[in-house]
């Protein structure tokens, strides 16, 4: 069974060699590596060429800079494998990732997707991901998996899965271009159209958090994109899983409170209290209040208190006062 691995690359000369090396050393050898050079201007492309010259499984596609989603979409045009994995170019994978996923495909019938867990690499340390609770390894129905996503027991990231390539083509799978947090709707659509999903509760992916990376950045655009994708995601869940509405509302309110927290932190750290920030905060608070006013939705006291604290900046004030005192 041939497995396709898509690696979008843009100006990651410090990280790309480690990424490609972790792929080249896979214990499962029958892979093709589709490197999409998204208009890199540093030494990334030369490092990729070096790998392609010594390992014929690696091939390079070059395009003008169009962003992560466009690079992933380009890569899908060159897929020949029965299953596809996406790997970000500043991350790494366990040498057994592909092998373990292929074994699951062989040992269980009708598996459309394989989820796997991950480590977090930050500040030169690798830590176990503690944000997601995780679930037991095994097969799940699409509805069960969506339920787990909404409860944040598993993650919604393109690099967390091995997808059936035919399923992707059948559902015209692609990432929305020009948006951050682009994974949400395409992935939940594939989950919905899957026969069975296998979750492997084993950290096989090493996700890097580094300063300046797309996912670590906070900005007005990032928050707007997050809300846009959340709205589209929520619309899909409402139409296809009406019995999961309560879980969806909790999922929404957690994200709104997270975004409120970012605004409050920026106000205190950078003193940014622009009219745009104020209107953004009011917009988010109105979304939270709308959910809180729904009589059928029960929100935990802890979540409600977080909302109130962000609303008046108390939580962020004391949090960053402690940081200020330590630094000074």
Asked if residue 199 and residue 271 are part of one domain, the reply reads no
pLDDT at 241 over 70: yes
Q: Would residue 35 count as lying in a domain?
A: yes
131: domain CATH number? 3.90.550.10
> Taking Cα atoms as reference points, which of 199, 215, 120, 107 lies closest to residue 161?
199
Asked if residue 175 and residue 56 are part of one domain, the reply reads yes
Asked if residue 186 and residue 40 are part of one domain, the reply reads yes
| Percent above pLDDT 90 for the chain | 53
pLDDT 10s digits, 167-221: 999 988 999 888 777 788 999 999 999 999 999 999 899 888 765 444 444 567 7
**Confidence at residue 176, expressed as pLDDT on a 0 to 100 scale:** 84
Residues 318 and 265: beta-carbon distance below 8 Å: no
* Token pair listed for 126: 């690798």
How many residues does this entry show for the chain?
Answer: 328
Range of the domain at 253: 241-327
Asked if residue 144 and residue 291 are part of one domain, the reply reads no
pLDDT 10s digits, 134-149: 789 999 999 999 999 9
> Taking Cα atoms as reference points, which of 158, 149, 190 lies closest to residue 72?
158
Rounded to an integer, the average pLDDT of 290-304 is: 65
Q: Would residue 235 count as lying in a domain?
A: no
pLDDT 10s digits, 29-44: 999 999 999 999 999 9
**Confidence at residue 156, expressed as pLDDT on a 0 to 100 scale:** 85
Asked if residue 169 and residue 34 are part of one domain, the reply reads yes
Asked if residue 7 and residue 103 are part of one domain, the reply reads yes
Asked if residue 260 and residue 202 are part of one domain, the reply reads no
Tracing tokens 């991950």 back to the chain, one arrives at 118
Asked if residue 253 and residue 144 are part of one domain, the reply reads no
Asked if residue 142 and residue 24 are part of one domain, the reply reads yes
Please provide the average confidence, as pLDDT, over all residues in the chain. 83
Q: How many domains does the chain have?
A: 2
**Confidence at residue 318, expressed as pLDDT on a 0 to 100 scale:** 47
Predicted model pTM = 0.83
Asked if residue 156 and residue 19 are part of one domain, the reply reads yes
Q: Would residue 229 count as lying in a domain?
A: no
Which residues lie across from 197 on neighbouring strands?
113, 140
Find the range with the poorest average confidence among 98-112, 219-233, 299-313.
299-313
Asked if residue 44 and residue 132 are part of one domain, the reply reads yes
Which residues lie across from 37 on neighbouring strands?
9, 62
pLDDT band of 303, cuts 50, 70, 90: low
> Taking Cα atoms as reference points, which of 294, 201, 281, 188 lies closest to residue 240?
188
β-strand pairing of 92-93 with 31-38 = unpaired
**Confidence at residue 10, expressed as pLDDT on a 0 to 100 scale:** 95
């Amino acid at each position: 069974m041939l497995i396709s691995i898509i690696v979008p690359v843009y100006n990651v000369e410090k990280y790309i060699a480690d990424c490609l090396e972790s792929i080249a050393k896979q214990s499962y050898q029958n892979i093709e590596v589709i490197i999409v050079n998204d208009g890199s201007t540093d030494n990334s492309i030369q490092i990729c060429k070096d790998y392609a010259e010594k390992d014929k499984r690696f091939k390079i596609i070059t395009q003008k800079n169009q962003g992560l989603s466009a690079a992933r979409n380009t890569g899908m045009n060159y897929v020949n494998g029965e299953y596809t994995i996406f790997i970000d170019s500043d991350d790494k994978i366990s040498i057994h990732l592909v092998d373990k996923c292929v074994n699951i495909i062989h040992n269980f019938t009708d598996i459309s997707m394989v989820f796997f867990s991950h480590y977090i690499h930050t500040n030169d340390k690798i830590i176990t991901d503690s944000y997601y609770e995780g679930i037991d390894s095994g097969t799940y129905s699409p509805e069960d998996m969506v339920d787990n996503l909404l409860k944040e027991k598993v993650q919604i990231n393109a690099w967390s899965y091995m997808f059936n390539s035919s399923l992707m083509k059948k559902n015209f799978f692609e990432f929305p271009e020009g948006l951050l947090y682009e994974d949400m709707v395409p992935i939940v659509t594939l989950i919905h159209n899957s026969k069975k999903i296998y979750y492997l509760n084993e950290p096989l992916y090493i996700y890097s958090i580094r300063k300046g990376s797309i996912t670590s950045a906070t900005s007005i655009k990032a928050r707007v994109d997050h809300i846009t994708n959340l709205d589209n995601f929520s619309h899909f869940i409402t139409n296809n899983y009406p019995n999961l509405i309560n879980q969806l509302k909790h999922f929404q309110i957690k994200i709104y409170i997270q975004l409120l927290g970012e605004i409050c932190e920026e106000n205190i750290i950078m003193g940014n209290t622009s009219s745009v920030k104020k209107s953004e905060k009011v917009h988010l608070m109105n979304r939270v209040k709308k959910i809180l006013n729904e009589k059928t939705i029960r929100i935990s006291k802890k979540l409600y208190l977080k909302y109130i604290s962000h609303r008046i900046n108390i939580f962020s004030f004391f949090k960053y006062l402690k940081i200020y005192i330590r630094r000074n």
